[in-house]
């Protein structure tokens, strides 16, 4: 695997989830494939809960790529299918954390995500 700038961000965020937030590596999937509107897509990082349901989707961009509305649109499309509780967008420099309110079709920005087992 080539260590592209985006891959560097992805690997560091996985490390952060494991070492700082205590998420078990067994619940973390990298580049998990899904189908969105008949197209094959991949989530950069998908974290499952103990029941095996998606809990967190992380979209990673290279540090040179600014986070934009299209980045949020991309992760929102994935979440229409996955129904995760948290969405994270990062380019390694800027990190945006959102908690979903799927019932009311809204989200709330957070300062971070809870440690594993805190929800």
pLDDT at 1: 61
CB 16 within 8 A of CB 113: no
* Residue tagged 């509305």 (tokens): 69
pLDDT at 95: 95
DSSP string of the chain, one letter each residue:
----HHHHHHHHHHHHHHHTT---GGGEEEEEEEEETTEEEEEEEEEE-TTS-EEEEEEE--TTS---HHHHHHHHHHHHHH--SEEEEE-SS-EEEEEEETTTTEEEEESS-PPTT--
* Segments in the chain below pLDDT 50: none
Query: Which domains are delineated in the chain?
Result: 5-110 (3.90.1570.30)
pLDDT at 34: 83
| pLDDT per position as a tens digit, 9-27 | 999 999 999 999 999 999 9
């Amino acid at each position: 695997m080539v260590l592209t700038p985006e891959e560097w961000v992805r690997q560091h965020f996985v490390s952060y989830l494991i070492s700082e937030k205590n998420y078990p590596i067994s619940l973390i999937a990298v580049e998990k494939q899904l189908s969105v509107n008949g197209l094959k897509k991949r989530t950069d990082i998908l974290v499952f809960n103990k029941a095996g349901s998606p809990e967190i989707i992380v979209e990673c961009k290279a540090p040179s790529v600014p986070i934009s509305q299209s980045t949020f649109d991309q992760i929102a499309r994935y979440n229409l299918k996955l129904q995760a509780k948290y969405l994270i967008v990062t380019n390694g420099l800027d990190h945006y954390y959102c908690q979903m309110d799927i019932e009311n079709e809204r989200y709330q920005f957070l300062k971070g995500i809870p440690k594993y087992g805190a929800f």
